């Protein structure tokens, strides 16, 4: 059951994230059509992560109580509705509503991680967590191309319809093929605002450091993703095509790293060593962007270092967070982790553009420095308890 369940879960998450990749690059273009200001476009992007920050712990707690499968299906149904509103949007307000709903119902990732924790043993936890990152890498690589083809060859509304269609397929697949994992703890009623998960997250030795490292890594990578298009234009003089190819290359690196390298070597080196190596690589990649020139011989290796580093950090720390957490509150604590990551995704690009106003290289010097500090802190990571 384990292998088939994880395979279906991977396909479900991948199809949903494909829709996310279709819509995301088109948001500025649609907002420009409605004469949105730069501030309004920033709000449009931040609204998704802000809703994740607010709702991810709640969805995780509900999945602990009612099961993983129904919460994944609710998230997919909400994604389908949000993409449909996006397709019919005729005003900026409708675009904003679509992104708010997408953020509210973005229960898929945290609940999928909790699902994996239910069906895997300690030795395979990190390896299987990397599948979520691989699904994101594929969606990030293929989604923009599908969205562009739908926009140019069918019509402006069709990227939203295609994304909604992918979510509908994922919902159908979850309904037909995704089993509820066997849970070895009694499900008990809990209050809507039960603080057990929060108490565990902030009082259990080792867990606060894992959460902090997750937030720092995602902040630095979101800073990198958000400002890369600006540095490629201002410092390296790349056009739209070159910029798009670089983003596709980053997605491909994420896919290779999490889909193959991390899954192969995580059981051998362990989560803590993998996270430490990832902190070093991400830091070196960010320093390389600040120091490097426009030559592809420099750009491609430093981008690969940054992508590989983040790909190593993300599943390692997610696995450690899961291994430090009792089974009965897995969903909620992983949801708290997703909430912190959503906040980091809001602040990363925002602070990155503030730093860009001072110097085009400053976001990457700051990001690289933070990752060096993160590496030093990662040396204090505790081994997870045996449960």
Predicted confidence (pLDDT) at residue 28 exceeds the cutoff of 80: no
Contact 318, 40 (CB under 8 A): no
pLDDT tens by residue, 223-275: 887 777 777 777 777 765 666 677 778 878 888 888 788 888 888 888 899 99
Q: What percent of the chain has pLDDT over 90?
A: 19
Q: Which two tokens stand for residue 286?
A: 């960010």
Work out the average pLDDT over 361-370: 93
Query: Measuring CA to CA, how many Å separate 64 from each of 14, 107, 252, 324, 357?
Result: 23, 13, 34, 16, 45
Q: Which residues contact 141 (CB under 8 A, 6 or more apart)?
A: 21, 248, 251, 252, 255
Residue 230: predicted pLDDT = 72
Distance, in Å, from the CA atom of 387 to the CA atom of 139, rounded to the nearest integer, reads 35
Residue 184: predicted pLDDT = 44
CA 318 to chain centre: 11
CA-CA-CA-CA dihedral for 182, 185, 186, 190, to nearest 10:
-110
Residue 191: predicted pLDDT = 54
Work out the average pLDDT over 279-292: 92
Q: Which two tokens stand for residue 356?
A: 């860009």
Scanning 178-260, the segments in alpha helix (DSSP H) are 196-203, 207-234, 240-256
Average pLDDT of the chain, as a whole number: 81
Distance, in Å, from the CA atom of 301 to the CA atom of 289, rounded to the nearest integer, reads 10
- The band of 196, judged by pLDDT with boundaries at 50, 70 and 90, is low
CA 121 to chain centre: 23
* Least-confidence region, from 60-74, 300-314, 315-329: 315-329
In the chain, the domains with their CATH numbers are: 1-177 (1.20.1250.20), 196-387 (1.20.1250.20)
Work out the average pLDDT over 72-90: 90
Q: What is Dmax (Cα atoms) for the chain?
A: 59
- The band of 283, judged by pLDDT with boundaries at 50, 70 and 90, is very high
pLDDT tens by residue, 87-126: 998 888 998 999 899 888 876 677 887 788 777 776 777 7
pLDDT tens by residue, 123-163: 777 777 777 777 777 776 777 778 878 877 888 888 889 88
Predicted confidence (pLDDT) at residue 1 exceeds the cutoff of 50: no
Residue 157: predicted pLDDT = 85
């Amino acid at each position: 059951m384990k292998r088939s369940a994880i395979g279906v879960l991977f396909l479900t998450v991948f199809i949903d994230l494909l829709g996310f990749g279709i819509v995301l690059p088109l948001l500025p273009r649609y907002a420009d059509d409605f004469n949105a200001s730069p501030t309004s476009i920033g709000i449009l992007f931040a609204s998704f992560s802000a809703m994740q920050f607010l709702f991810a712990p709640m969805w995780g707690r509900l999945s602990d109580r009612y099961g993983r499968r129904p919460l994944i299906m609710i998230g997919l149904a909400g994604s389908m509705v949000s993409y449909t509103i996006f397709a019919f949007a005729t005003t900026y307000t409708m675009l904003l509503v679509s992104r708010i709903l997408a953020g509210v119902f973005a229960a898929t990732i945290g609940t999928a991680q909790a699902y994996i924790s239910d069906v895997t043993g300690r030795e395979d936890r990190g390896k299987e967590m990397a599948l979520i990152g691989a699904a994101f890498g594929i969606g990030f690589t293929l989604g923009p191309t599908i969205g562009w083809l739908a926009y140019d060859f069918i019509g402006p509304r069709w990227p939203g319809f295609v994304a909604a269609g992918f979510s509908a397929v994922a919902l159908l697949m979850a309904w037909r093929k995704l089993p509820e994992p066997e849970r070895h703890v009694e499900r008990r009623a809990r209050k809507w605002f039960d603080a057990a998960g929060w108490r565990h997250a902030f009082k259990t030795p080792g867990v606060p450091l894992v959460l902090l490292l997750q937030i720092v890594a995602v902040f630095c990578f979101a800073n990198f993703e958000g400002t890369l298009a600006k540095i490629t234009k201002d410092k390296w003089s790349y056009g739209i095509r070159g910029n798009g190819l670089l983003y596709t290359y980053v997605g491909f690196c994420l896919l290779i790293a999490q889909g193959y390298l991390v899954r192969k070597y995580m059981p051998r080196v362990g989560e803590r060593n993998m996270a430490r190596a990832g902190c070093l690589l991400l830091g070196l990649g960010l320093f390389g962007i600040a120091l490097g020139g426009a030559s592809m011989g420099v750009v491609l290796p430093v981008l690969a270092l940054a992508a590989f580093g983040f790909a190593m950090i993300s599943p390692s720390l997610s696995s450690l967070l899961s291994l430090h957490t009792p089974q009965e509150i897995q969903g909620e604590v992983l949801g708290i982790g997703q909430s912190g990551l959503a906040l980091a995704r809001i602040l990363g690009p925002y602070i990155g553009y503030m730093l860009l106003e001072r110097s085009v290289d400053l976001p990457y010097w700051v990001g690289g420095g933070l990752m060096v500090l993160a590496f030093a802190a990662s040396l204090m990571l505790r081994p997870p308890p045996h449960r």
